[in-house]
Amino acid sequence: MTMQAQDTSVRHEVVVQAPLERAFAVFTEDFGRIKPPEHNLLGVDIAETVFEPRAGGHIYDRGIDGSECRWARVLAYEPPHRVVFSWDISPQWQVEADPEKASEVEVRFTAETDERTRVELEHRNLDRHGGGWEAVRDGVGSEGGWPLYLGRYANLL
């Protein structure tokens, strides 16, 4: 299977009106407020999201009942310029226990002026999640699969 690197990563960037140090601090310390709230792997509401500020740490959600979901490993923590963490979440939004099947996210912070910072985010190696979608691909991705997919849809109407 040939795949261009571009196909296996997602890139975004944003320029914010904030000094470099603040841009980095808000991203890491307030990640729980940044993350879209509907993305919750716990069965209960999230009390807080903790971003442990060191390589080897984790990013985890703590539920209101005390349960925890560790969904990322901090791979690099270099304030205020760069942070890299693994994405231990399968395409089905379940925690992926096998690090070989995890993708990774790199976020780079660059000062454009004293009051303006460019934030570049790359979520890469998405192909590592391979096993997670085999069932989906086998079921609906083949040429014979799409009519079935559409048939199921028609039944819902």
Q: What is the C-alpha separation between 43 and 47, in angstroms, rounded?
A: 12
Helices (H), the chain: 20-29, 31-34, 134-136, 145-156
Rounded Cα distance, 63 and 16, in Å = 31
16 versus 75: smaller Cβ distance to other proteins: 16
Q: Is the distance from CB of 128 to CB of 100 less than 8 angstroms?
A: yes
CB of 56 to other proteins, least distance (A): 23
Q: Minimum CB separation from other proteins for residue 73, in Å?
A: 17
With contact defined as beta carbons under 8 Å apart, do 125 and 85 qualify? no
* Whole-number Å distance between alpha carbons of 87 and 139: 25
CB of 67 within 8 A of CB of 48?
no
Nearer to other proteins among residue 57 and residue 91 (C-beta): 91
At 143, list the tokens.
């040429």
Q: Closer CB to other proteins, residue 70 or residue 118?
A: 118
| Least distance (Å) between residue 11 CB and other proteins | 9
The footprint of other proteins (CB under 8 A) covers: 3, 7-8, 10, 12, 14, 16-18, 22-23, 26-27, 30, 33-36, 38-40, 91-93, 119, 121, 123, 126-127, 129-130, 132-134, 136-137, 141-142, 146-147, 150, 153, 156
Instruction: Give whichever of 12 and 78 is closer to other proteins, judged by the CB atom.
Output: 12
Q: Which is nearer to other proteins, 23 or 74 (CB)?
A: 23
Cβ 62 to other proteins shortest distance, Å: 17
Q: How far apart are CA 138 and CA 141, in angstroms?
A: 6
